[in-house]
């Protein structure tokens, strides 16, 4: 019972026979088409092989006519490049005289007869001279030839004067804000009563160069002299006042100290870390425009220096008597 299968009926057998009869002609047609295609492809392959063989035989015949298988133009081009010797230079000549062959290959004329007997005098080689990539500095060195001098000398000095408690980065930030304020400020209005240094640029050019702006303000208001007092030199316990000239750094230090004193006495208009820089830049603009009280200090000091010139020839009293 396990291997029992139902047997096909007579109708199923008849339908299968009809299908096989219908499939027969279609399969025969497919087979005939495939055979025709294979025959055509084989014929094309035979024709292509024959054409290739003909081309190869023709190329061999043409190359046999030329020595070396190169045309005249190719030989000339290779000879000019130095890849082959000149045409007509046989292999025997190359083996017999390889030196001449190399000269000819390089395009150099052969040496004359008796060239080997000539003695050539070689000149002595010059001794090597020590050269430098950059020129050596001229001695003696200038006084300000520092290796790490990065900033303008005026900015460096004024930044150190602004520094408090060793916080130089804070002073540098304030100086940067001062320069930025001067750069963005309108051109100053010069007061003829308080003239600036001679040969100063026009006021419209000052905001374009804030370092020059700051330097011009400090140098214009800087005093030329200082009063040196000798205790008891005038007699009767009175000091003897003598004018003394100042160097450039001393003058700038005195002028900037006056400006800082005025700035510290001014009230702040707000709060924040930019207030000191704004007050300082406003005072510098006031100095250039002649509105700062620093000019009065300078005039008073110069008047005192002019009056005390008479004491230069006086001899100080010893012992203060």
pLDDT tens, 283-295?
A: 999 999 999 999 9
* Widest Cα–Cα separation across the chain: 164
pLDDT band at 2 (very low <50, low <70, confident <90, very high): low
N-terminal to C-terminal alpha carbon distance within the chain = 158
Share of the chain above pLDDT 90, in %: 39
Q: What is the CATH number of the domain that holds 164?
A: 1.10.455.10
256 touches 161 (CB < 8 A): yes
Portion of the chain with pLDDT greater than 70, in percent: 68
Residue 87: inside a domain: no
Q: Which residues touch 301 (CB under 8 Å, ≥6 apart)?
A: 223, 225, 226, 227
Structure tokens given for 29: 């047609």
Tens digit of pLDDT for each residue in 247-264?
A: 999 999 999 999 999 999
Can you give the pLDDT at residue 115?
54
pLDDT at residue number 281: 94
With respect to residue 236, please indicate whether it lies within any of the assigned structural domains: yes
- Cβ(259)–Cβ(265) below 8 Å: no
102 in a structural domain: no
What letter would DSSP give residue 291?
-
**pTM of the complete model beyond 0.75:** no
> Would 254 be classed as within a structural domain?
yes
Would the pLDDT of 63 be above 60? no
Q: Which pLDDT value is given to residue 93?
A: 57
With respect to residue 279, please indicate whether it lies within any of the assigned structural domains. yes
- HEC sequence for 81-115: HCCCCCCCCCHHHHHHCHHHHHHHHHCCCCCCCCH
Does 11 have pLDDT greater than 90? Answer: no
In a domain, 8, yes or no: no
Whether the pLDDT of residue 236 is over 90: the answer is no
| Cα–Cα–Cα angle for 145, 220, 258, rounded to 5 degrees | 90
The reported pLDDT for the residue numbered 321 is 47
Token pair for residue 17?
């026979």
Burial class (CB in 10 A: 0-12, 13-18, 19+), 302: middle
CA dihedral of residues 46, 47, 52, 54 (deg, nearest 10): 110
Lowest mean pLDDT among 53-57, 144-148, 207-211, 214-218: 144-148
The first and second tokens of residue 230, run together, are: 């000798």
Whether the predicted pLDDT of 304 surpasses 80: yes
Highest mean pLDDT among 34-38, 228-232, 275-279: 275-279
pLDDT confidence of residue 89:
60
Which of the four pLDDT bands, split at 50, 70 and 90, describes residue 46?
A: confident
pLDDT band for position 150 (cuts 50, 70, 90): confident
pLDDT of residue 137: 79
CA–CA dist 206, 188 (Å, integer): 8
Q: Is residue 189 part of a domain?
A: yes
Residue corresponding to tokens 């005072």: 283
- Minimum mean pLDDT range among 33-47, 147-161, 201-215: 33-47
Is residue 80's pLDDT more than 90?
A: no
Where on the phi/psi map is residue 114: left (φ > 0), alpha (ψ -120 to 50), or beta? left
Average pLDDT, the chain: 79
d(CA 260, CA 161): 9
User: Which pLDDT score, from 0 to 100, does residue 36 have?
Assistant: 72
Range of the domain at 206: 153-311
Q: Do residues 269 and 275 make contact, with C-beta atoms less than 8 angstroms apart?
A: yes
pLDDT at 91 over 90: no
As a whole number of angstroms, the distance between CA 144 and CA 151 comes to: 12
What is the three-class DSSP state of 131? coil
List pLDDT tens digits, range 203-225.
999 999 999 999 999 999 999 99
The CB density around residue 223, as the number of other CB atoms within 10 Å, is 20
Question: For the chain, how many structural domains are there in total?
Answer: 1
On whether residue 79 sits in a domain, the answer given is: no
């Amino acid at each position: 019972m396990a291997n029992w299968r139902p047997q096909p009926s007579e109708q199923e057998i008849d339908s299968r026979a009809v299908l096989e009869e219908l499939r027969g002609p279609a399969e025969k047609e497919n087979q005939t088409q495939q055979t025709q295609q294979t025959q055509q492809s084989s014929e094309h392959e035979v024709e292509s092989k024959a054409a290739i063989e003909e081309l190869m035989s023709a190329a061999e015949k043409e190359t046999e006519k030329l020595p070396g298988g190169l045309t005249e133009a190719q030989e000339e081009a290779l000879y000019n490049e130095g890849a082959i010797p000149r045409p007509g230079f046989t292999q025997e000549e190359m083996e017999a005289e390889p030196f001449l062959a190399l000269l000819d290959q390089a395009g150099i004329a052969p040496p004359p007869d008796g060239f080997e007997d000539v003695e050539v005098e070689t000149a002595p080689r010059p001794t090597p001279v020590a050269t430098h990539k950059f020129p050596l500095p001229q001695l003696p060195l200038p006084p300000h030839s520092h290796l790490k001098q990065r900033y303008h000398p005026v900015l460096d000095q004024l930044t150190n004067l602004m520094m408090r408690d060793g916080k130089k980065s804070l002073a540098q930030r304030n100086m940067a804000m001062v320069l930025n304020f001067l750069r963005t400020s309108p051109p100053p209005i010069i007061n003829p009563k308080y003239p600036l240094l001679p040969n100063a640029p026009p006021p419209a050019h000052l905001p374009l160069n804030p370092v020059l702006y700051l330097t011009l303000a400090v140098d214009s208001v800087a005093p030329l002299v200082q009063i040196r007092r000798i205790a008891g030199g005038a007699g009767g316990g009175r000091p003897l006042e003598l004018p003394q000239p100042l160097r450039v750094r001393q003058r700038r230090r005195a002028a900037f100290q006056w400006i800082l004193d005025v700035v510290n006495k001014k009230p702040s208009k707000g709060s924040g870390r930019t207030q000191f820089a704004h007050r300082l830049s406003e005072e510098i603009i006031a100095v250039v425009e002649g509105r700062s009280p620093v000019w009065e200090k300078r005039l008073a000091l110069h008047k005192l220096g002019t009056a005390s010139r008479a004491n230069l020839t006086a001899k100080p009293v010893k012992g203060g008597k």
